Chain A
Amino acid sequence: MNIAGMGMVSARGRGLAALEQALEQGWVPPGEVEVKGLPSGRLLVYAVPAEAMSDKTVLAKARRADRFTRMAVLAASDALQDSGLGATVDKSRLGVIVATALGPHATTFSFLDGILDFGDAAVSPTAFSHSVHNAAASYIAMTLDVRGPTLTVTHFQFAFQQAVLLARTWLNDGRCDAVLVGTVDELGAVMHHVCGRMGKPAADGRIKPFAFSAVPETVPGEGSVFFLMTRESTGAAYALLNPLVLSVPDVISPAHRGGTLQLLDTDGMAKDETAYRTAVIPGMPVAGYAPLFGGLLTVSAFQAAAAALMLEKQRRYASPVLDNPHSLSLLHETSNTPLDTVLCTKLDCTGRPAQLLLSLT
């Protein structure tokens, strides 16, 4: 299917210009937050800046929406706008699939605050109705007047890949002519604490995508990425996207490997990244852009957006962190070398892969 439009909200800002700038600029230091209950009292994070979420026009119908929903609405709206199809697409045949790993947990905890502070009989109905995972999809539908199917899915390991597979199903079925599919995950005070306790914070603020460590380091991130997908036969696109969920690692024939780049979704959020060593395909340059966005269970969407941009611009961006203990053939400098395929590889905790293959239209 076609990637006809993209939208992104991340620590590097909102929009594709911000994405492009991040890819050109490379790694920047994360921010720091105070976190109660951690020995150091602090955590390095890649948080979405407030100015990236300010838009009275797009968010006109999102008065009560929380950060989680606002990120998703902005990214989805931008993707539709970017596609140029907003005015012509039949909204009854436009679907929305929102993938999230952790949902709007900050609002869930705010709701629990209400129970603990005021009692079961005096909780906020607004907080409750916004703490359900599908609130974001609902707001996307209201903002863009989407009347087709809307679905919210969760999966800790392959949320984005599963969502993309479903989008293709809807397009193949003829259920939709276009699908807004994307991810959203957020940070928050409690999640800072959880990440600090359960993960291994990178003391130097650098996610190292090629360390393949048994105890990987991370810098938690947040954000939302959306893609407007259409069938392959339709119009212009950044790239074609083919989800190969749970496929064998080696899907690129040796003849193709010169024009292909492999992106590894290694962001330090998995318990163990050693299995990636055998997922690297020999003969192809390798990159990983998680250090730009932070560690998210849905980082695959950010990588896919980077891949689509590279294919459209025919520009390969240097991997932002080049620590290379396993002597991989890293993409270490930015250039306009032709590119026809990008393979985005993610592994689950058993080492099984889910891959997204992006190629030139």
Chain B
Amino acid sequence: MVEEKVLITGMGVVSAAGMNVAETLAGFTSGIRNIGRTTPALSPLDYPVFQVSAPLRDSGNAHSRTLQLAFHALDEALTDAGLPHDLSGLRVGVCMGTTVASQLNDMDFYTAYRKTGEPPMEPVEAFLKGNLAEAVAGAVKARGPCITVVNACSSSADAVGVALGWIRNDLCDLVIAGGGDELSRIPVCGFGSLSVFSHEPCRPYDRDRQGLNLGEGAGVLILEPESAARRRGSRSTLFVGGYGAACDAHHLTAPRPDGSGLETAIRVSLAQAGIMPEAVGFVNAHGTATRDNDKVEGGVLVRVFGAQVKALSTKGFTGHTLGAAGALEAAFTALALREGWIPASAGFENQDDEIPIGAVREKTAISARYAVSTSLAFGGNNASLVIGCGS
């Protein structure tokens, strides 16, 4: 086992909050929420969504928008880490999370199939080349372990956790871990049918919250054992301290009311990091703004950390980016530790009496070595990451 720290040596992010880390931090500071509405090209349904409107870096080999988003974030992460785009000399693992991109759900293909019985095969061929982790591994010539995690809303949090395990088990020298998801008609229709959308900008943890808004984006973290990173010249002081995951075993779409799965996940991550709850400076909560999620999650956060813990949800700036959420929020958590501040929990105004914790209402200075990022997913998966900063 590799017992040394696993550093985050590079990060790349893209979401409605910003096309890269600098833009995102500026956006968090400004408090501006780049929210739009679904367009007819996406779906005839009308909901607020957090779309990435600016052009993405052209990677030239992306078979889907999800891949384009992922490559955009990957580019920033590799540059940030001071790594080349050809990693063939190293043992490199790739673990990426997604939801929509894993499905064969091309509407043109299926419409043609129903109508004519002889649809074009190009969408299927694109799908078979579009496995997120396989595509990223191919692009950087990674030859180590390679997995696409499809764990609904906790996919890329789990991907970071898997990456941590690979490094600690000495399966690779470096892991590209993250996730991506594009805005797509399928989840717009699907989440709409589950009655979990808000018709307004989402209000995580707020007393009057009505539901979530979808978003799109990608987040990528480069993870390396500390000694290897230092040899390469990395000066990053960010690290992944621990990962916990536990299943509710309760229901396909509703969280276990007592939140015991999430509580287990958090405590396992703290134990792996070797810290007590008091050491955690803040929690980047899953905070989707649905009635159920925020109530259950809030109750757990109080049980574990006490009512005084600072909490926020960045989904007020990004929307719920599904497979990208865990990695984006891990990156935001790391950035907050490094920069010494957390943004306002956009959309939160009034505390809900049923949730014993409130979110921060304004940009808040923090001075902490550790923070936690939580994710709850359909299917009952719960994930918790402990992110650290400092020598």
Contacts and interface: CB of A to CB of B under 8 A. Distances in A.
Contact of B117 (A37, A173, A194): A37
A138 B379 contact: yes
Interface in A118-177: 119-125, 128-135, 137-139, 141-142, 144-158, 162-163, 165-166, 168-170, 172-173, 175
Nearest to A157: B134
Contact of A130 (B110, B116, B124, B252): B252
Which secondary structure characterizes the binding site on chain A? helix
A133 B150 contact: yes
Nearest to B249: A141
B162 A112 contact: no
B247 A149 contact: yes
A116 interface: yes
A137 B119 CA distance: 32
Interface residues of A, number: 70
A45 B121 CA distance: 20
Nearest to B260: A147
Name the residue in A138, A168, A175 with the highest tally of chain B Cβ atoms < 10 Å from its Cβ: A138
B143 A150 contact: no
Contact of B105 (A112, A130, A141): A112
A114 B44 CA distance: 14
B246 A147 contact: yes
Contact of A158 (B146, B150, B191): B146
A293 interface: no
A111 interface: yes
Interface in B162-221: 162, 165-166, 168-169, 171, 185-186, 188-195
A144 B131 CA distance: 30
Interface string A80-104: 0000000000011000100000110
Contact of B116 (A37, A108, A113, A142): A37
Contact of A105 (B104, B133, B169, B171): B104
B285 to A, nearest CB: 20
A252 interface: no
Nearest to A190: B113
B135 to A, nearest CB: 10
Contact of A134 (B110, B152, B250): B152
Given A108-B104, A113-B114, A121-B192, 11 more contacts: A125-B195, A128-B190, A129-B378, A131-B190, A137-B379, A149-B158, A150-B245, A152-B149, A166-B147, A173-B169, A193-B117
30 contacts: A37-B113, A64-B252, A92-B246, A103-B104, A111-B186, A120-B185, A120-B192, A121-B44, A121-B189, A125-B195, A129-B252, A129-B253, A132-B378, A134-B378, A138-B378, A141-B248, A148-B246, A150-B380, A150-B381, A151-B245, A153-B150, A154-B148, A155-B134, A155-B147, A165-B145, A169-B162, A169-B171, A175-B268, A193-B117, A352-B143
Interface of A: 36-37, 64, 91-92, 96, 102-103, 105, 108-109, 111-116, 119-125, 128-135, 137-139, 141-142, 144-158, 162-163, 165-166, 168-170, 172-173, 175, 190, 193-194, 197-198, 245-246, 352
